[in-house]
Amino acid sequence: MPTPTRDRPPVPTGPGPVRRATGPRSARPVKPYLVAGFAMGGIWALNQGEPLWEHAVKLLGLLFVAAPLLHLARRRRAARQPERRHRLSFVRLAVAKVALIALALGAGWLLDGAVDRPDLAVAAGLTTAVSLLGPFLHRLLLVRAPDDAGP
């Protein structure tokens, strides 16, 4: 004897996908800051035991050479998309990078005699600070893009 089939209850459908507003307040790129945090913390941890100035030089090289090259490659890929209203400010980004390096150097100097492995503590702090605070502070690095339409 065949089993009777039952009609499935209708699945409620919503009004559609929720779209976020575009602007500096809603722009919170989490993945890039997570990757950057782990890269910076990893470089600091891999160079443990070296002088603080070497840490600074290697991290500044990462931040001021590799990051802009990745940004240029990403911008070329996104050139086919419509222009955004906001863009990263180079000056604000450079100041934030230098401040981050200064904080890491200061923390390394302060922790030098206080803990067994100060470089690992600073690496963990860098990773945490960039990964967690970066997306929230990202909007402070944005400026309004210049209009292409002239008078």
Q: Using an 8 Å Cβ cutoff, are 111 and 122 in contact? A: yes
**pLDDT 10s digits, 101-141:** 899 889 988 998 888 888 899 999 999 998 998 888 888 88
pLDDT for 150 equals 45
**pLDDT 10s digits, 50-60:** 888 887 888 88
pTM (two decimals): 0.64
Average pLDDT on 10-14 reads 56
